[in-house]
Amino acid sequence: MNKKLKLAVCQNKVIADKDKNLLKMKKMIAKAVKQGVELIILPEMFNCPYDNHYFPIYSEEIPGGKTYEFLSKQAKEHNIYLIGGSIPETVVEDKDEKLYNTSLIFGPDGKLLDKHRKIHLFDVDLSDGVTFLESNTLSYGEKVTVVETELINIGVAICYDLRFPELMRLMVDKGAEMIIIPGAFNTVTGPAHWETLLKARAVDNQVFVVGASPARNLEADYHAYGHSMIIDPWAEKLHEAGSKEDVIIQEIDLTKLEKIREELPLLKHRRSDLYKLEEI
Ligand SMILES: NC(=O)CCC(=O)C(=O)O
């Protein structure tokens, strides 16, 4: 394991124009690369407004779609690991078409290492005004995603997935040392829960946690919270964006993870004689 890792989160303001979103992201990635980062993380639905109306219109087949090609090229050109936030993915099986909220994970050679399809769909009706039914358009992912890289072992889950500690622990049991959450929380649940959940998952599992949100766009129907964040395994916040567009860059010390796990070995202290968690 390298001992230091420089990473960036590109918090873009998503608009209803895929090409413009990609162009903006290209510039943000170039800005991060100039600072020598090795890993770049993009937000949930970074190329498509977070809205059931837009998901089918913006969705792409994988591999081969415009965004897939864009991400692969960016990773290769800049020799970086790229966690492509998420995009709406179309899958056609036996004439049946399904959509997923999918994160694409690319290596520095531009090859797709893995993808994560959002497992838990955001179906809520909050009295404060946020109503969303992802399951109106999207299908449920079925896989726990952990990718081994030369930098660090990365678990990827998407937004509402963050609320399920069992999933995060399963990722850690599969070797995750950093959990990446592309996530568009909103202006109700964001201030209430985003930071708390990111920190809780970090301290529960003694991992780095990175939350990558889109910037807030008040012209859109859904107002993302923003506040992309990088948290260390001691639940210390290393960096936080505001609600506007930003590229946040942070060097992290990976020895912190080893040190904390050695000094406070809670993962070893589990009572597997009394309870267990398993992937089915
Ligand atoms: N895109 C999402 O899954 C939103 C999740 C969210 O806002 C939450 O509070 O959970």
> Could you read off the pLDDT of 100-147 as tens digits, one per residue?
999 999 999 999 999 999 999 999 999 988 999 999 999 999 999 999
Tell me whether 0.95 is exceeded by the ipTM.
Answer: yes
Q: Is 101 in the pocket of ligand 1 (CB under 6 A)?
A: no
Q: Is 160 in the pocket of ligand 1 (CB under 6 A)?
A: yes
For the beta carbon of residue 116, count every other beta carbon within 10 angstroms. 27
122, 203, 253, 280 from 83: Cα distances, Å: 21, 23, 20, 26
Token digits for 240? 């936080």
Task: Give the pairing type, strands 208-212 and 229-231.
Answer: antiparallel
State in Å: Cα 57 to ligand 1 middle.
21
Q: Is 120 in the pocket of ligand 1 (CB under 6 A)?
A: no
Return the CATH number of 4-263, one of 3.30.2350.10, 3.50.50.60, 3.60.110.10, 3.40.50.720.
3.60.110.10
Using the atom order of ligand 1, give the atom closest to the CA of residue 186: 7
Tens digits of per-residue pLDDT, 35-64?
A: 999 999 999 999 999 999 999 999 999 999
Token digits for 259? 């040190």
Which residue has a Cα nearest atom 5 of ligand 1? Answer: 160
Task: State the Cα–Cα distance between residues 212 and 9, nearest whole angstrom.
Answer: 6
Reported pTM: 0.97
Annotated catalytic residue within 38, 159, 177, 199: 159
Choose among 193, 14, 153: nearest CA to 88: 14
146, 217, 261, 276 from 255: Cα distances, Å: 20, 38, 10, 28
DSSP 118: -
